[in-house]
Structure 1
Amino acid sequence: MASSSHNPSILLRRILTLKEPTAFVLCLDRLEQSANAIGQEFARNNSDAVVIYVSFETLNKPAYVTHFLEANVHNMSKLASNLITYLPAQRDDRKSIVVLDALNYVPNEHLSTFITSIASVPTVVVGTFHRDMPELRSPALENYPSSLTLLQFIATTIFDCRSLPQQHANAEELESELGCFSIPKGLNDPVFKIVLTHRRKSGRALTYQFRYNSDKGDYQYTQSREEEETAEQENMFEGLTTFNLNTSSRQKQAKEQIELPFLEAQRFNTGGAIVYEFEKDDDYEEEDPYEDPF
């Protein structure tokens, strides 16, 4: 649910211009709508950045790309080592963007290791995952999370690309036609819907919807049905009681600013550890070993 104390358009703009800290951007697409325009939009908003394109299924080098690499899924460690050589040094102020056109080809057991090996502070990884492509699971990894679940967990920002509802009024009929490989007209339109999910440092996720025009690079925030219902519920107590049950804008803003323990896993250097930051207002006795916050 989107928060009224945040400006969704400003947040999207900060993400695209790499001003909002995010190490791994996951782009989800379907047969009806491709996510190729998202990587191009990152390059358009960062003209001075080095763009490395890792191709799993793309044949020709896109025009906005600085370096074009063909991926070898049989040796992911060698691919990561080769990719790192194209990245600017850490002392270099230039930003770098790594575009992965299809993460479906990366084996499940090497997925997290491959992404964490190339993600760093000056580098943003923008990877695309095709939802409609079936995954071949190894029997040895039966109890291991699927590739999509794993990617959604480690991603700090998710772009879910979907076709606009007015283009295809009957969603069930569209899904049925795509399942039979009967491709309707009007798919992969330059104007489509983006469901943006961004995780803050506290681990709290913010979700917004946008109408995006890839030809013009223009995006417009659209309110979801859940947000409209929430706005109606906030006013349902008006005139029913002698006291106020609604929350003020100041109270909502204070609620949004609550910081939970920072998820160290977002820095890609530990496995999901939660770090507690000790403050001076905490009641702590040094002589009591059971109250050691560290």
Structure 2
Amino acid sequence: MSAPKQHLSRQRQRQPELEQDYARTTTLGYEAPADTGLVRCIAHGFPTPLARWHFHDEYELHLITATSGKAFVGDWIGPFQPGHLVLCGPRLPHNWISMDMPEGGVPERDLVIQFLHGPIAHAAEQIPEMAEVMALLERARLGVEFFGLSDRAVQHFHAVKAARGFQRLAAFCAYLSDLARCTDFRQLSSVRMQGEEDDAANDQVNALVNRIMRDYAHPLSAGELALELGMSESRFSRFFRRATGNTFTDFVNRIRVNRAGQLLMETDRPVTHICYEVGFNNAANFNRRFLEIKGVTPSEFRRQADHRFGGPPQT
């Protein structure tokens, strides 16, 4: 009788867990508190209680060294294999589920570094050279995957873990520097706004994005927004694309699809209901746009998302 109850429990679980400090024990691969300052290193195998759909206040720099499977970062679902390197921002839910684990598991799968935003942000206020690191951390808010750095990432992790005091901070900064200078990366969870050069343009872009984020479920017209800003529609289209990297229609579709992905992950609402709830006016267009942006249909996305808790797929 216990197995069905556990199955139902997994079906009801939709929200990520908040990782608490009391759970961060050395038996799970964490360093002893006396050995940490700004930087905390974790090395662990799989399976492990740490592999679950969860979030925490720290950034997490996560390197996979063994096995392959599915990664879940915010509303992004994708494959991973050894060398997969991701920087997750604070409170961004994430999990990695191995699909090819050998019998008995693996002793080491994850090399992880966690660190808080505050100390780095305060230091950056006084140290101009840290500007590139702050840009990196801003990108990480929605998850960043890096390519071509896996070998150096392993070296960096072990250098940080082996060091203490200021030498550890120096090793950690060297790691961040390589990430900040890496140009081969991709955002994972959602669209990220690109800043304009002047404050007035930034204010306009922020206002536009806030408006879209607030009203995404309602009809949105580029022409109406252009009129509100005192622009022609063609000028508005150029301005919007330069600011966000997307056409207005593509940006709105991405916001709607990302919200749909969240609802598919966190609720049991029918796909057709979610379609209209996020602002699409017909199911065929919703399915087409979702497939273009996420690479899978809404139903398949929900099916894959149920793996993020580590249990068997839901039926």
> What's the TM-score once normalised by structure 1's chain length?
0.25
The one of the two structures with greater contact order (alpha-carbon pairs below 8 A, sep at least 6) is: 1
Give the structure with the larger strand fraction.
1
